[in-house]
Amino acid sequence: MVIVMEKHTAESNIERVMAELVTRGFDVHRSTGSEHTVLGVVGDVAKIDTREFELFDGVQEVVRITEPYKLSSRTFRREKTVVKARGVEIGGADVVIMAGPCTIESEKQVFEIARRVARSGARVLRGGAYKPRTSPYAFQGMGVEGLKLLRGAADENRMATVSEVMEISQIEGMLPFVDILQVGARNMQNFNLLTALGQIRKPILLKRGMSATIQEWLLAAEYIMNGGNYDVILCERGIRTFETYTRNTLDISAIPVIDKLSHLPIIADPSHATGRRDKVMPLARAIVAAGADGVLIEVHNDPDHALCDGPQSLYPDQFARLMDELRIIVPAVGRRL
C-alpha cells in the first residue's frame, strides 16, 4: 500500500500518519520528494481500510498495490486449480459441459434430459431442487425428492451433479445427492452461507452476483476458501447493464480477466445471461472461444411446458447441434472436449 501525501504538506501531518502506521505494527518506507512525500506501507495491509488513512490531514491518496483477495489470487497460487467432482475435472485440459433442466420437475423429465445431454457429451447434470424465484408464487422446486431423481438420472448416465443450495439448512441434506453445490447469483454475498460452505469438502460453483464487481466476486470465493474448502468454480452469468433487450449482459471479458487474476476454474452460463433461447448458442460458442473451463447450460425436453425458465432452455436437438459446433471451436483454443 502506498500513501501519497499532499504537495508540500506539513511535516507534522506526515509524522501523524507514520506514527499511526508504526503503532499498528506496519513498516514504513518514507520517500521525501521535492514536492510530494510518499509512504510505502509494508506488512499485512489487507487488514487496513484505506479510507481511515484517506481521512488524515495532508493525505492526498491511498493506493493499494496488492489485491484484497489472497487465497483465490494467482499471486497466492501460480498454477491453475483443477476441481474434481466424481471423476470430472474442471479447470484441466477438458472443457466441461454442464447441462440439464432449470428445475427438476418429474422422474420422466430428468431421466429423459439426462440421457439426451449425456449422449451429446455433457459430463455434469444440472437441475434445481430449491428455486430462488423472483416471485413467491412461482414453482419453488421439488426439494430432496428432486435431488434423488437428479442423482439417479446422473448415475444412469455416469455424470456428476450440480444443484443450487439456497440456505445453510439445506447443505446437509444435499450432500448425498449432489457433487457440486451451486451458489446462485442472488446469494453470492450471503456471507453466512458462504462461510458454512467453507466447512464442507465438496466443490462449490459460485455464480457472479448480477451487480457484483470481479473483486467482490473473488472476495466471496475467499469466504469459502478461508474455511478450508479450496474447490471453488467461478461462474459468470451476466450482469445488470443499461441494456434491456437481453435479461442480463454476459460479461465475456470476465473470463480472461478471472484467468489472469485467479487460479480458480471459470465457467459461464449463457442461459441465465440472456434469458432467450435464440441467444444461448452464439454465447456458448463465445464462452468457449474466450477460454472458459466449462459451460453451464439449460436444456429441457419440453421447454414450452417447463415449470421454470422455459424460454431460455435449449431443445435437446439444439443442444446436440451446439455440442457439434463446440467440438470445432474447442481445439482451436488448445483445449479438449
Partner 1 sequence: MERSDAEREITRIRDAIDRVDEVIVRLLNQRAKYAIEIGEIKGHLGLPVYAPEREKEVLLHIEKTCDGPLDAQSMRRLFERIIDESRRVEREAATEK
Binding site for partner 1 (CB under 8 A): 11, 15, 18-19, 22-23, 25, 27-32
If you compute the radius of gyration of the chain from its CA atoms, what whole number of angstroms results? 23
Return d(Cα 203, Cα 198) in angstroms, integer. 10
User: What string of H, E and C letters represents the secondary structure of the chain?
Assistant: CEEEECCCCCHHHHHHHHHHHHHCCCEEEEEECCCCEEEEEECCHHHCCHHHHHCCCCEEEEECCCCCCCCCECCCCCCCCCEEECCEEECCCECEEEEECCECCCHHHHHHHHHHHHHHCCCEEECECCCCCCCCCCCCCCCHHHHHHHHHHHHHCCCEEEEECCCHHHHHHHCCCCCEEEECHHHCCCHHHHHHHCCCCCCEEEECCCCCCHHHHHHHHHHHHHCCCCCEEEEECCECCCCCCCCCECCCCHHHHHHHHECCCEEECHHHHHCCHHHHHHHHHHHHHCCCCEEEEEECCCHHHCCCCHHHCECHHHHHHHHHHHHHHHHHCCCEC
Q: How far apart are CA 165 and CA 140, in angstroms?
A: 13
18 vs 330, which CB is nearer to partner 1?
18
CB of 60 to partner 1, least distance (A): 19
Tell me how far, at minimum, the Cβ of 27 lies from partner 1, in Å.
5
Residue 298 and residue 69: Cα distance in Å, rounded? 31
C-beta closer to partner 1: residue 16 or 80 = 16
Write down the least CB distance from residue 55 to partner 1, Å: 20
Q: How far is the CB of 61 from partner 1 (least distance, A)?
A: 20
Q: How far is the CB of 7 from partner 1 (least distance, A)?
A: 17
Instruction: Output the smallest distance, CB 9 to partner 1, in A.
Output: 14
Report, in Å, the least distance between residue 15 CB and partner 1: 4
Closest CA to 262 of 105, 128, 84, 69: 69
Sheet holding 59-63, edge to edge: 27-32, 37-42, 2-5, 59-63
Other Cβ atoms within 10 Å of 158 Cβ, number: 11
Min dist CB 40 to partner 1, Å, is 8
